């Protein structure tokens, strides 16, 4: 099992959850929590919501979802679909391998 964690603006939540869903599990099954993310786009960036070199703090949503190891499909297709649905130039996500204790 793996835990997939990703971050996006609240307006993109529905599209990103749908895009990252897997066919072998309930679709859009996730936990979401709100917070504030910050970033400063570099000189070569093409930011979606702010200006280059300006520190920006925005409301974001953290979404957590569990993926089964047999669903190796998530390693490529949902990640690609999520990237297309996400409004940021460089979407942030984390993947954790889980194990029973």
Q: For the purposes of burial, counting CB atoms within 10 Å of the CB of 76, is it exposed (0-12), middle (13-18) or buried (19 or more)?
A: exposed
Ranges of beta strands (E only) in 1-101 are: 2-8, 31-39, 56-67, 93-97
Domain of 48: which CATH number?
3.30.70.120
What range defines the domain where residue 33 resides? 2-97
**Looking at the 3D structure of the chain, how many domains does it have?**
1
pLDDT per position in the chain (101 positions), as tens? 788 888 888 988 887 766 666 555 566 678 899 999 998 888 888 887 788 888 999 999 998 888 776 555 555 556 667 677 778 888 888 888 888 89
Q: Reduced to 3 states, what is the DSSP secondary structure of residue 79?
A: helix
Q: What is the pTM of this model?
A: 0.73
H-assigned helices in the chain: 13-20, 77-85
């Amino acid at each position: 099992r793996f835990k997939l964690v990703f971050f996006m603006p609240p307006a993109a939540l529905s599209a990103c959850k749908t895009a990252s869903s897997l066919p072998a599990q309930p679709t859009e099954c996730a936990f979401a929590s709100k917070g504030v993310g910050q970033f400063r786009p570099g000189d070569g960036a093409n930011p979606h919501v702010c200006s280059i070199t300006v520190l920006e703090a925005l409301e974001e949503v953290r979404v957590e979802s569990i993926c089964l190891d047999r669903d190796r499909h998530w390693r490529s297709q949902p990640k690609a679909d999520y990237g297309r649905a996400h409004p940021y130039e460089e979407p942030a996500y984390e993947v954790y391998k889980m194990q029973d204790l």
